Structures are given as structure tokens and as C-alpha cells.
Chains A and B, each alone.
Chain A
Amino acid sequence: MRCKKCLHEIGPEELRCPYCGAENSYAVQHQKNMKRFKKDYKKTRNEVIRSAQSTRGLATRAAILIVLIIGCIIMTIVTSLNYVDPDPREVNRRDAERHVDEYVSEAEEFLKRGEYTEFVSFMYAHDLNNIARDKTDHLVSVSYVAQEYYECIQLMEEIILRSTDPDYFDGLDTDIRNFCMYVDGFYEVLEVQRNRKKSEKYHAYMDDMDAELRAAMRTYFSMDDRELEEFLSKSEAQKAVILEGILRHE
């Protein structure tokens, strides 16, 4: 740059012209600005350091707290997974979902062969009552009747095949009570399901189960047709008393 007075070349940082001694106003202003910038810089730097020092503790504490919370969540998840016992039916359920068509056909074969207890066991074991309802919906009505039939036959078998050993636990009273409850349940469900038009195709199976149950009661409770009808018309408690009389005094 040039001196304003003598127009000689001078450096931009020279405060006075070395030739004429005139003041270099640009250099003077620059020096003032630099002093001010340095002062502002120091002030800002001190403020930042002060602020950082005052919040440093907070950030550390917050980080520790977040780590502890995450640790607690992970441990809760691991603990809950350890306490869950595997569902034994899960394997069967997945298998049934893959082969639902095949299993539904097999269930219907049991019905056609008149193997009603096998039908119910098969439906339960493969959870066909719950999975793929659109494919098993047509079996719902006959399933309800078959389940009650299944309970009645199971209880009759337990009653007839019970131990006569006097040292063995005698559960006859409970079995009789349960049988009376289930036989009433069977006829209630049968009446409801027979009135459903959707289940017309399966009415023959329902009637067959009814016939078998009646035959079983006539055979094993020593009843003729009239006695059986009278027995079925009684209340649950009255039925139990009749059966106690038959089975305890055999």
C-alpha cells in the first residue's frame, strides 16, 4: 500500500510512514481491531470453559443413568425368557398348520369309521379346533357333540375298569358325579347342534354317538329302555344316586 501523504510504498502493518512519519490509519485501526478480537476471544473462551465445567458433571451422571436403565431392561428381558417354559403343544401346532388339509381329511375319516373318541383326541392333539378355522369350521358342530360323548365314554370306562383293591384310592363318587354332569351336557349340546342347519351333514354321526352312549348305559348300568329314559329324565343329583345304587351294590 501507499502513504497518503508522500505516496511512498509502505507495509500494511507499519503504524507510521518510514519516509514522512505520517500515521497509517489502516494499520492503527487494524491494531485496535486485533486487540478487541483478542479480548472477545478470551472472554468467549473463558465462558465456554466455565459452562463446560459446570455441566460436565450432569452429562456424566445422565450417561451413567441411561446405561443403568438399559442394563435393567436387558436383564428383565433375559429373566422373563428364562422363566418361560416351552409350550409342549407348540410343535404340534406348527406341524398342524403345515398339514391342516391332510389332518382335516384324517379327522373326517375317523368320523366315517365311527371312531368318535379317536376323532376328538386327534382334533385336540393337532389343535384343529383353533387353527385355520376356515378349514375346520364345518367340523365345529360335530366336534362339540363328540367332545361331550368323549367325556361320557371316558368316565364310563374309568368307572367300569376301576380298581376293586380296598387299598387303592376310591374315586368312584367323583367319577359318577362327573359322568352325570357330562351326560346332561351331551344331551344339551346334541339338542342345540341338531337344530343347526349348518350341521345337517353330520346329524347321522351325532345320532350314532347318541345310540352308542345309550347302548353303553344299558349295558354297563343294567338298564332296559324304559329305565334308561327314566334315568335320563332325572336331575344330575338323582342320576348320581341311581348310579351309586347300581355300582356300589353290584
Chain B
Amino acid sequence: MNKMLKVILDILIVVACLVFLALTINMVGSFKYANREKEDPIETERSVFEYELRHKSYGEVMNTYYVKRMYNFEPQAGMEDIYNVAEYAHAAFMSRVYAEKGDDRMSESNALRMETVRNRLGDYAYTADEVDEVIRNAP
């Protein structure tokens, strides 16, 4: 009886050793994964932003803005320019909507907002002119 038990335990020990070895390798891999070099998301976003501006794709800038804002209502460091350009574009879009709706209160506050954001654009002030032209000539 004892001999049989010893044999069974020996088999279980061999299996446990193999599993232990596999888990050790897996654990080493998991540490490599946890300490992997991660790309800087802000740098990627800015690079994409510059590309979109080169092609005047303000629609894509808006898409990024709306997606990012679902996680960070205020812009993260490095994302301020993207948020500013998108905010201006949204305000410009809504300016014609309020005018069509006949909502003077919103038109006035929106105009003020456009001016405030335009003053924040800095090097990207040219985007405000481009957006104004697109909105003016739409559809």
C-alpha cells in the first residue's frame, strides 16, 4: 500500500515539477511584458495631429478630440493644441447652427467662446482661418 502511494506521489511530483517549470518561464515572460518599453501615446497623437493638419482633415481632429474627451475632459499635457483646434472647429460648426435656429443667446456666447479659443491657438492660429473657410462654404 505504501509502495503504491509512493509511486503515485512520485508521478504527481514529476507532473508538478513540469508545471512549475512552465509557470516559471511564463512568469519571466510576464515580467518582460510588464516592463516593456511603451510608446508615448501623446507623441503618437501629436504626430497624427500634425499629419491631419497637413491634409486639412479637421474631421479627424474632431474624432480624436471626442474620443479623448471621453477619458479626459481636460486636456492632458501635450494635448492642449489638439483640444484647442477641435474646440474652435466645434464652436465654428455650431455658430451656423445657432444662427439657423435663431438662438441669439447661444450665438453670442458661442462667438465669445470662438474668440477666446482663437486667442489660445498660438502657432495654430492658421487653423481657425481654414476652419472658418470650410464652415462658411459648407455644404
Contact = CB atoms under 8 A, between A and B. Distances in A.
A117 B71 contact: no
A160 B26 contact: no
Contact of A221 (B16, B63, B139): B139
Contacts of A150: 66
Contact of A76 (B16, B23, B70): B23
Nearest to A89: B71
B20 A161 contact: no
B106 interface: yes
Interface residues of B, number: 52
Interface in A105-134: 113-114, 117, 121-122, 124-126
Contacts of A49: none
Interface stretch (A14-22, A64-72, A137-145, A185-193): A64-72
A82 interface: yes
Given A58-B9, A157-B62, A165 B17 contact: no
Contact of A160 (B9, B63, B138): B138
Given A83-B33, A157-B62, A160-B134, A215 B73 contact: no
Nearest to A73: B23
Interface residues of A, number: 57
Interface in B83-138: 89-90, 93, 96-101, 103, 106, 109, 131, 134-135, 138
B48 interface: no
Contacts of B27: 75, 78-79, 82
Interface in B1-54: 2, 5-6, 9-10, 12-13, 16-17, 19-20, 23-24, 26-27, 30-31, 33-34, 52
Which secondary structure dominates where chain B touches chain A?
helix
A55 interface: yes
B59 A58 contact: no
Contacts of B101: 211-212, 215
B58 A125 contact: no
Contacts of B23: 72, 75-76, 79
A69 to B, nearest CB: 6
Contacts of B138: 160, 220
B5 A165 contact: no
Contacts of B106: 114
B60 interface: yes
B66 A219 contact: no
Contact of B58 (A124, A161, A175): A161
Interface string A63-100: 01100110110011011001100001100100000000
A120 B128 CA distance: 25
B60 A163 contact: yes
Contacts of B89: 157, 161
Given A117-B90, A220-B138, A161 B59 contact: yes
A168 B71 contact: no
B9 A69 contact: no
B30 A82 contact: yes
B12 to A, nearest CB: 6
Contacts of B5: 58
A61 B20 contact: no
A79 B30 contact: yes
B47 to A, nearest CB: 16
Interface of B: 2, 5-6, 9-10, 12-13, 16-17, 19-20, 23-24, 26-27, 30-31, 33-34, 52, 55-63, 66, 69-73, 89-90, 93, 96-101, 103, 106, 109, 131, 134-135, 138-139
5 contacts: A121-B70, A122-B73, A125-B73, A156-B93, A216-B100
